[in-house]
Amino acid sequence: MRPTSPFANADLTDRILTSLPDFKTLQSTILTSKSIYSVFRNRPHSIVRAVAYNQIGPALPQAVRLVRCGHAKLWLKPVDELLGEDELVKHSILTNEEVRMLVDKAKVVEGLEDIFSWREKDRNFTTSQLSAAESARFHRAMYRIWLFATIYGHTACVHRDDIEFDEHETRQHEKKFLASFVTPELREIERLATFMCQIATWAENAGYTEHEYFGDSFSDFALFHGPHAVLAAYSDDMGWVEPFDDDDFLLERYDGFLFSAVSRVLEERKQSHMTDEQAKKIVLDNIIGGEDKCERCQSDSVKGTSLWGPNNWSFLPGFVRLYDWKDKLKGRLGFNIAETVGFNQACSATPWPILIGEVFDQKTEAYDLWNKDDWICRDCLEIFLKNHLHLWYLEKKRETGVIPENCWYGYNCRTQMHNMDHARKLNHWCEPTKGDP
């Protein structure tokens, strides 16, 4: 007798297909044999719906609502004219285009979840460490924010000439949309909107944006576009930007976008303002190492995810701008008229994690107990860099050529600030051997 194929049973094959984690795996699987493909062709809608849930998770209803409201162009509509979160129950068949859009949006939400987890949950990992419940809250709120941005944000407003627009009426629509959520869910929206604004501000500080496009607040501008804009800014991919051409209407619309409406709803519900500690618990049940202190100063004011180590040094550019480092050099090195450009170029050409790691390799005897793997606060990190960054640059110079004779006054020399010949002739990236000239 010929052995029975494991895929001969259609119900078993269906069970396998509906358990696949994503559409990419589904596509690969149904192409492996005619019998598997035949099962899929006979049951496409239930299988696609199951895989969509596996990939999107419990926030699938919110994701489908976003996709279908956007596709229907329900811009600036009141909440009672939008499709509901029960849309998937009412119309359960997902089209190929909807699947494509769901997958694209899921990638954005997952990317933001990784950043959120890294910054807010566990500083040791750049991929999400959120629990299933925490991840579900994150995704649910993120899709709701994205829907708000789609219906009342940039896309809707650039098409305002095609639809009737009334500023007061739109403000009321925004408020009623957000009022449709119970207070804990509204708090989740507020919390993650704040997180996205923080990430957008980080991208601006890191030099990833062209500020002249965005009026007074790039974070409001990014939120006005939606989560995809925030992730693009973080990834230094500003191709999505559409300059406003001094469109005062749009500038006014994105000022305080979403937050003003959230505040009005919460005020009417007599909800008090959350503290930072309260806000941390809106999405997260716990924070890994949340009570850890700086291993050097043991400060009570900076803890947990605010500490810095090799696993998150790459996030520093949004907090400490590279061009500020010349002001953090020892003595008067930041004003050396012959070396400033070379120093800045050396910093710019070296990724932050590599740069800081190499600076630790230059640590002096006074810092013998400081370890590269220590989790320390930003103040302590800056103190360490200030006392060693000149040694790092001196080593870089030594790798590319001969170091000239040391100036007696080293990094404290005043002459290096105004005499080009002197600044070029002698090495000032060294300890003074004479007093201040």
The predicted structure's pLDDT at residue 2:
46
The predicted structure's pLDDT at residue 3:
47
The model's pTM is 0.89
Per-residue pLDDT band for 212 (boundaries 50, 70, 90) equals: low
Q: Lowest-pLDDT range, 32-36, 46-50, 102-106, 117-121?
A: 32-36
Taking the C-alpha atoms of residue 106 and residue 102, their distance in angstroms, rounded to an integer, is 6
The predicted structure's pLDDT at residue 242:
57
Tokens of 77: 């509509």
The predicted structure's pLDDT at residue 241:
58
Query: Which residues have a Cβ under 8 Å from the Cβ of 220 and sit 6 or more positions away?
Result: 197, 254, 255, 256, 257
Taking the C-alpha atoms of residue 298 and residue 307, their distance in angstroms, rounded to an integer, is 11
pLDDT digits (tens, 9 = 90+) for 284-325: 999 999 999 999 999 998 999 999 999 999 998 888 765 566
pLDDT digits (tens, 9 = 90+) for 80-99: 999 999 999 999 999 999 99
pLDDT digits (tens, 9 = 90+) for 218-274: 888 889 999 999 999 898 876 655 555 445 566 667 778 999 999 999 999 999 988
Query: Which residues have a Cβ under 8 Å from the Cβ of 293 and sit 6 or more positions away?
Result: 299, 300, 302, 303, 307
pLDDT digits (tens, 9 = 90+) for 120-176: 999 999 999 999 999 999 999 999 999 999 999 988 877 666 666 677 888 899 999
Taking the C-alpha atoms of residue 93 and residue 318, their distance in angstroms, rounded to an integer, is 43
* Residue 282 Cα to chain centre, angstroms: 18
Give whichever of 186-195, 335-344, 379-388 has the largest mean pLDDT: 186-195
Residues present in the chain in total: 437
DSSP SS3 for 308:
strand
> What does the mean pLDDT of the chain come to?
89
The predicted structure's pLDDT at residue 8:
54
Taking the C-alpha atoms of residue 140 and residue 60, their distance in angstroms, rounded to an integer, is 8
Other C-beta atoms closer than 10 Å to the C-beta of 366 total 8
DSSP SS3 for 376:
strand
Taking the C-alpha atoms of residue 139 and residue 331, their distance in angstroms, rounded to an integer, is 49
* Residue 89 Cα to chain centre, angstroms: 33
Residues 35-62 have a mean pLDDT of: 95
Residue 314 is given by DSSP the state: G
Query: Which residues have a Cβ under 8 Å from the Cβ of 83 and sit 6 or more positions away?
Result: 65, 68, 69, 72, 74
The predicted structure's pLDDT at residue 249:
61
Bridge partners (DSSP) of residue 303 are: 293
Amino acid (1-letter code) at residue 322: L
pLDDT digits (tens, 9 = 90+) for 374-430: 999 999 998 999 999 999 999 999 988 889 999 999 999 999 999 999 999 999 999
Per-residue pLDDT band for 18 (boundaries 50, 70, 90) equals: very high
The predicted structure's pLDDT at residue 203:
87
Q: What are the two backbone dihedrals, phi and then psi, of residue 308, each rounded to the nearest 5 degrees?
A: -125, 140
Tell me which residue of 279, 418, 296 sits closest to 360, measured CA to CA: 296
Tokens of 33: 């044999």
Per-residue pLDDT band for 1 (boundaries 50, 70, 90) equals: very low
Bridge partners (DSSP) of residue 406 are: 427
- The domain limits of the chain are 1-55, 57-283, 304-425
Residues 7-15 have a mean pLDDT of: 81
The predicted structure's pLDDT at residue 327:
76
Tell me which residue of 262, 276, 112 sits closest to 202, measured CA to CA: 112
Q: CA torsion, points 323, 325, 327, 332, in degrees to nearest 10?
A: -120
